[in-house]
Amino acid sequence: MILALREMSGTMKVLLFGVLAAHLATYMVVPLLPIYLKLAKHMSVTQIGLTLGLTPFAFQAGSLLGGWLSDRVGRRMIIAGGAWINAAALVGYALAEPAWLLMGMALLNGLGIGLNAPATKAAIAAIASDATLKTTAFSLRGIAANIGIATAGLLTFFVLGGASAYLFYTAAGCYALLGAVNGLLLPKGCGDAPCQSPELKAYKAVFTNKAFIGFSLVTVLVWALYTQLSLSLPLRAESILSDPGIVSLIWTMNSLIVISLQTTMTRLFIQGRHPATVLAAGVLFLGGGLASLYGSTSFYGLALSGAVFIVGEMLVLPTIDATVSRIAAAPMVGVFFGVSNFIAGVGESGGKFAGGQMLAFGTMTALPWLTYAVLAVVVSGLLYALRFWKPLQLALMPAAEPVTAERLSIPARNGHERMFKLPRWKKKTKSK
């Protein structure tokens, strides 16, 4: 991890800082937003549910727009613009009073996140040149995200002191800083190379790519299962703990696990293995963590279930991103990530709705937790079956000319920047 950071290009460091800052700002707000809307803004439960539902809806639209724009006009201003839109939305949460205006802030918030996310992933994918570097890059992205999440939990719990307007102003400041750093330090356009700006009709390639469509249809179910922890864990905690608010520390603990182990997990269990196999194993851990909540009767039991779940997350998230980047057509990688984020939003929205219906039967009954376990087994089987699906096999085949140490010592062509800097001894050898 330390070596990777030392050898990382300046652009990659800026992108990872942006990921960290975005998750820091987001997770200051997300866990406490329902409480804030109820106590400070006096919204009804129905209004709160509608407001929270509008953010993923706008996120899906923003992802499609952000992915398209990042390929046409460049990633720097799309990433920065999304951050500034988020900053405005968070200030709006603090200042707005009428329910309809707060709902407008929710839409604005989702739009900003949607613009930012695919453009950032596309920029990371463009820097990481081969399959191994893509996996490493997206694993580092996961570590940066979880550093932000862990810091947000500690800052909120011990410093900012709960749901208040100061929380939103602080988060808005983080997004404003993120926008400024990305706007000033990221390269113009699509890196040093000009943007491709393909014609609109060329985007049908996304929807005629069998490997991408098939992979995406299965990952909808993965995202539906993944989103259940944020819904089921707090409700289970409310049923068994005298102070359910302490459950927020579990998110910090989970993030610390990712920060400590993601690099090792990537090296030992992800790199060199077929992504379908890795995803199938990861989904079983997601389901196991969710199902084990039924047997958890204390804070420590809940934390253990969260730890099992987070092992699955460490396998699933970087593998999905790396696989999409390998399937994507090079001139339109931003569009592919935009559609991928849209699909993730569909899965999360559907998963939250279905999970809410199941948990309505009660967290003390076995039905919801058994359903999670069965769904995990089914989805894991579908993912493993993708390993033998010919379109995906062809899409994941390595290039005819593999990336070697000698090739990495040659200056980057077409002005593209690599993820890692050349070692000094390579530069000396080249100069001779």
Residues 314 and 334 both lie in one domain:
yes
Q: Is residue 192 part of a domain?
A: yes
Q: Is residue 427 part of a domain?
A: no
What pLDDT is attached to residue 423? 41
What pLDDT is attached to residue 244? 64
Residues 167 and 218 both lie in one domain:
no
Residues 313 and 188 both lie in one domain:
no
Which residue do the tokens 């951050």 mark? Answer: 83
pLDDT digits (tens, 9 = 90+) for 324-371: 988 887 667 777 887 887 888 788 877 877 877 787 777 788 888 999
Residues 292 and 375 both lie in one domain:
yes
Residues 183 and 219 both lie in one domain:
no
Residue 127, pLDDT > 90, answer: no
CA distance 178 to 332: 25
Q: Provide the CATH number for the domain around residue 96.
A: 1.20.1250.20
Q: Is residue 2 part of a domain?
A: no
Residues 279 and 385 both lie in one domain:
yes
Q: Is residue 4 part of a domain?
A: no
Residue 198 DSSP code: -
CA distance 212 to 231: 29
CA distance 49 to 168: 19
Q: What is the mean pLDDT of residues 57-83?
A: 80
Residues 132 and 258 both lie in one domain:
no
What pLDDT is attached to residue 200? 61
Q: Is residue 408 part of a domain?
A: no
Q: Is residue 191 part of a domain?
A: yes
What pLDDT is attached to residue 131? 59
Residues 210 and 186 both lie in one domain:
no
Residues 66 and 126 both lie in one domain:
yes
Q: Which of 5, 334, 293 is nearest to 147 (CA)?
A: 5
CA distance 103 to 41: 12
Q: φ and ψ at 275, to 5 degrees? A: -60, -30
Q: What is the mean pLDDT of residues 258-276?
A: 90
What pLDDT is attached to residue 217? 92
Of 210 and 31, the structure prediction assigns the larger pLDDT to 210
Residue 320, pLDDT > 80, answer: yes
Four-residue CA torsion sign, 171, 175, 180, 181: positive
Last residue of a domain, one of 196, 229, 249: 196
CA distance 307 to 229: 11
Task: Output the pTM of the full model.
Answer: 0.71
Q: What is the mean pLDDT of residues 21-45?
A: 79
Residue 58, pLDDT > 90, answer: no
Residue 411, pLDDT > 50, answer: no
What pLDDT is attached to residue 404? 38
Q: Is residue 430 part of a domain?
A: no
Q: How confident is the model at residue 149 (pLDDT cuts 50, 70, 90)?
A: confident
Q: How confident is the model at residue 165 (pLDDT cuts 50, 70, 90)?
A: confident
What pLDDT is attached to residue 301? 93
Last residue of a domain, one of 144, 176, 196: 196
Residues 184 and 285 both lie in one domain:
no
Average pLDDT, the chain: 80
Please count the structural domains in the chain: 2
Residue 430 DSSP code: H
- pLDDT over 90 percentage in the chain: 28
Q: Is residue 409 part of a domain?
A: no
pLDDT digits (tens, 9 = 90+) for 215-261: 999 999 999 999 888 778 877 887 787 776 677 778 889 888 988 99
Residues 19 and 149 both lie in one domain:
yes
pLDDT digits (tens, 9 = 90+) for 358-410: 877 777 888 889 999 999 999 999 999 999 999 999 988 864 333 333 333 33
Which residue do the tokens 């990336």 mark? Answer: 403
For residue 115, the enclosing domain spans 9-196
What pLDDT is attached to residue 410? 32
Residues 385 and 248 both lie in one domain:
yes
What pLDDT is attached to residue 311? 96
